[in-house]
Chains A and B, each alone.
Chain A
Amino acid sequence: MPVDDVVLRVKGLHVRYGRREILKGINFDLRRGEALGIVGGNGSGKSTTLKAVLGLIPYDGVVRWSVPLENVGYVPQRPALYLDFTVAENIAVFSRLVRSPVDVDPLLEYFGLKPFLSKPARLLSGGYQKVLNLVLSLLSDPQVLLLDEPTAELDYSMREKLMDFLHEFVRSGRAVMMVTHVPGEVEEVCTRTIVLGHGKVIAEGPPDRILEQANLPYVVRVYGNFEIPPPLPNFKNVELSRVEGDFIELRVSYSSLLDGMEEILSFARSVGADRIVLEEPDILRAVEMGVVK
């Protein structure tokens, strides 16, 4: 990737709250056409990283933007809007402030906000407040969009719309950096991921590669009536995790999924199981389990 494509370069970023050091010298780049996910456990410094690069909190280190900061959009975790203003008033106020070049109608249409234009923002549902928050951040036609847990409180369809929008945004040669806690979101949107732990970058790269390195198992639950636990076969690629009255939880490693699934399916049929539920491994879980190093 050419150096010119780097829109943000962060080197040795330190942030302290009093005596507590939240970020301990993290380094990363953000490039055009890239969606960078920042994941990590609670208190790992994800949101702090966003605030620091935006200059909302004091920091030490180098944060160098190659685009004007006016062209950087920020979608905070909590909606940042006038709750007592209507949707239209909020849009009008901030459009006037940034002299917005954006035609906001398609965005309102896309996110389903049009029917609520005359409604006070306070009366919108949490999901609509979130998307209005996003729309307000897009008024300055940003080249880079920083999102702090953007899908929290969104229903499935709205989340899908947002994901599609972010795909398109990145595909148009712009960049996205997002912090998320929602399983699968990083893998779905991000082309690259940074995993933070205790204020440091503990892993960086495409989500697939991180998952591969983590080698987390797929979790499979076989549901049925197991008041009397059935005899278990001698699995070669499957590991028993736990047995409850209504399900048996099994684990299959990331590298032997197909063989393991065959063994599980034949076992399910033999015990007359009602259904099987497969839970994919994701980075968030890998981080929680501490298997990302």
Chain B
Amino acid sequence: MLKIADQHGKFMLRQGKALLLIVLHPFLVGIILYPLLASLEHPAIHVAAYVPDGTLGKYVNSIVSFAHITYFSDPSSVSHRVLDGRADVGIVARYEGNAPYFEIVSSPLRPTAATLVKSALQLSLLNLAGQAVGEISTSFQRVLSGLSEARNKLQQMGESISSAELRIRGIQDGLPDVSEFQTYVDAMGSYESKIDTYASKIKTYRGRIRDYIEDLREIEDELELAKQSEGSLRAELQSKKLELDYASQQVLSAENDLDAALLYIDENSEAYDYVRSAQQRLTAVGSAVDDARGAVSTAIAYLDDTPIDKYLAKVRSTRESLEEIYDDLGRVEDDLRATKASIAAQRSELSYKLEELEAKEQDVNRNISYLLQALDSAKRRLDGALLALNFGPVSVEQLPQLRYREVLRIPKSGSNYYPFIIALDVLMVGLLLPVVMRSRERDQGIETRLRVLRVSPVSVVVGRYIVYVSFVFLQALVVLLLGAATGYLPFSYISNGVVALFFSTMFVVALGLLVASAVSNVVVGFMTVVLLEVIFVLLSGRLVPIELMSPTMRFIASTSPLAVVSAFMEASTLVGYVSPFLLAVVLGSAFVLVLASAALLSRSQLG
């Protein structure tokens, strides 16, 4: 038996790395666990706070002794920080009415932090209330002593207020009537329009007069011309008359001559006939000359009868009088224009004054209204004060309030654990599968053959990655869907959960590939995975609250894959929030891990 024990002991001691892991395991766990436990004495809670008003800071500052506070400018950032796992608890402070109101944003992942912050805030509120009570009690005596004096003063004030009210109402009644000014302004406006009408009429008249004057001038010119032609015509007519007189005389003498001739000429003779005919013709000429003389005389008489000078004088006097009227009207027009300008100036002045008056009136009315309201309120306060003085205090200022809000809404208590279980499942399968499969491939010489066939390590790693991600995702998807089907996870967020699950799977499988590329055989791989998972579970915050760890341990714990994937799954499945921060973290890590796996694989020794 001892020989067997000896032989087995030697066998065990020669298991190389596998044994090394077993031996180192407690030390590794201890390295994590002891600082975790030791760090319990140095709690440092990370608080994300939204404090829009500086006066609220005194309440939030009450937790600085045990917390690191990071301030944000909007409440949603606070929630997101908590959901990302980058803050243990969130505080959203604001005023509701006059009362400070604090909302605690907490996650089931950080129960201790929420409790501590709630307690601290409650305590600070109680302290403040206690201080206030002390101050109130000391000042209460003074208040009481002043109350009786105040009562008298208040009564006097009440009387003063009543008289002030009466006076104000008197002032209000005595205010000038602005509407009268408006009438004036309106009348001036009508004058202006009337003046415009007159001015336009005058302008029309002046135009017409101007036309008449022009016509008269033309008539005058024509008359002047007529006057000038009258003289020449008269002279001509006179000369014609003289000529005709002479001709008439000639005709008479010719007639006489012819008579004489006839006397001498036998009546039967040819000459007699000739002379007789000549005489007849001459008689005709003489009658014509007489006619002409008559016509000329008529013309001269007509000319004598025509009063061109009279007309000319009349036209000229008419024209001159019209020109005077025209000038007069021009002056009237100028006067009207000046009058209109002065009326307009007066009107604008009146309008300005009217506006001023209206503004003043409004101002006065507003002030009066305020005064009346103030008086009314003062009266009511006075009434209240008097009532209070008679019956004691009736109102107390509202105290600060503390309300709680769970960021992760929980339909059932098991819901808190379901995303964690999914994360654990993804982590276990996602780490184990690559390790086991790679070890089997290595043991079967497949890796050697692939290397000899010059297949690039990146192709090998990515090829495996695609298969493992698909498998791990599908099996975890079943768990997720079961969670939704059994009501542990809200069905409305299932699509967000699927997205988070897929990217989490990518991250975990990439980590599994790295472990698989680093280990030499399945036993070492299996033990490494188990060891890693123990450490990850320790650091997940489910065994030791993360918020109670020291800053260094917090950093390690919050970057542990299980904590990251767990926070990602919880936020996505319970709240429907797919954190962009965690998405970037898992995708970036997956990319780096896959490349690191390929680099490690290309350097691994194969045989």
Chain A residues close to B by CB (< 8 Å): 47, 51, 54-58, 69-70, 72-74, 76, 78-83, 94, 97-98, 136-137, 140
Contact = CB atoms under 8 A, between A and B. Distances in A.
B445 A140 contact: no
Nearest to A148: B607
A81 B605 CA distance: 18
Interface in B438-468: 444-446, 448-455
B448 A81 contact: no
B450 to A, nearest CB: 8
Contacts of A47: 607
B133 to A, nearest CB: 77
B606 interface: yes
Max count, chain B CB within 10 A of own CB: residue among A55, A76, A80, A82: A80
Given A81-B444, A82-B446, A140 B453 contact: yes
A73 B448 CA distance: 12
Nearest to A68: B454
30 contacts: A47-B607, A51-B606, A54-B452, A55-B451, A56-B448, A56-B452, A56-B606, A56-B607, A57-B606, A57-B607, A58-B603, A70-B453, A74-B449, A74-B452, A76-B448, A76-B607, A79-B444, A79-B445, A80-B444, A80-B445, A80-B446, A80-B448, A80-B449, A81-B444, A81-B445, A82-B446, A83-B444, A97-B450, A98-B453, A140-B453
A231 B451 CA distance: 64
B449 A72 contact: no
Given A74-B449, A136-B449, 6 more contacts: A57-B607, A69-B454, A79-B445, A80-B448, A81-B446, A97-B450
A97 B444 CA distance: 17
Interface string B418-453: 000000000000000000000000001110111111
Contacts of A136: 449
B451 A78 contact: no
Nearest to B447: A80
A76 B445 contact: yes
Given A80-B446, A81-B444, A51 B453 contact: no
B453 A97 contact: yes
Contacts of B445: 76, 78-81
Contacts of A70: 453-454
B181 to A, nearest CB: 104
Contacts of B446: 80-82
B527 to A, nearest CB: 22
B451 A56 contact: yes
Contacts of A54: 451-452
Given A76-B448, A80-B444, A80-B448, A56 B453 contact: no
A55 to B, nearest CB: 8
Nearest to A56: B606
Given A79-B445, A80-B446, A80-B449, A97 B455 contact: yes
B419 to A, nearest CB: 35
A69 B445 CA distance: 19
A165 to B, nearest CB: 19
A139 to B, nearest CB: 9
